[in-house]
Amino acid sequence: MKKITIIGNWKLNGTKNLVKKFSKKINLKFKKYSKFINIVLSPPYVYIDRMRKKIKDKKNIFLGSQNTDLRKSGAYTGEISVNMLKDIGVKYIFIGHSERRIYHKENNKKISKKFKIVKDNKLIPILCIGETKKEKKYKLTKVILKKQIKKIFNLCGKNAFKNSYIAYEPVWAIGSGKSASIKDINKVHQFIKDYIFKKSKINNNYKKNFYIQYGGSVTEDNALEIISQKNVDGLLIGANSLNYKKFLKIIDIVYKYYKNKYNV
């Protein structure tokens, strides 16, 4: 059975108190959820180690970083390297989130280099891809996604996405309160899978360790419908991951769905 992954991205938010409350609630529910769900928590850098200490020894709760630098060490003031992240227990690293692409001018070439350094250091990349509202309007979604993925293949080879994640996050949906339609999610996720498997050296182990998440205004109201789609392997949650009641509610919805699905 392939477990579902629920990822919480706190972005530029958080306090010591939130880490304490959040981790306490997650820990209480951990045993219940762990049969079907892996949880990845991605607070800002300064709270990662604090979160690690709070969720210590929880085998299905992992730490994620919202970014990494291209270099592993050196005179690069203000940057954080994969070595540092690995040292404090991070397992997953976001690559290419639309906010990094927009506000920090990260292009596909730079993002592919970050993806490679994450893979080379035996960490798991979560590649975020998605189209803008304008690109969607002109029916360029597949063209844009293909460009974003192709750069990774060009640099990392045919096995690039083995033990990796892709998070499809339509840029126009992030923070808007309006997610993509179920029809669009199915269509886009199928396209991503078909494209990646066509270019990859595929076997059952590869398929088992490749995940496609959906992100973009995921709430307790739409989580069930999204997660029940065959090409959705999990959810990437932004704003609602900051409220532990809402976050746990979404996880509970997913848990109950899989419990019923497998009749256990």
Known catalytic residues?
97, 169
User: For the chain, what's the residue count?
Assistant: 264
Q: How far apart are CA 255 and CA 95, in angstroms?
A: 27
Q: In what helix (H) or strand (E) does residue 144 lie, and over which residues does it extend?
A: helix 141-156
Distance CA 122, CA 140 (A): 33
**Residue 150, both tokens:** 């192709």
DSSP designation for 62? E
> In 3D, which of 3, 130, 137 has the Cα closest to residue 62?
3
Give the C-alpha separation, 8 to 184, whole Å.
23
Residues near 208 by Cβ (< 8 Å), separated by ≥ 6?
2
- Rg over alpha carbons for the chain, rounded to the nearest Å, is 17
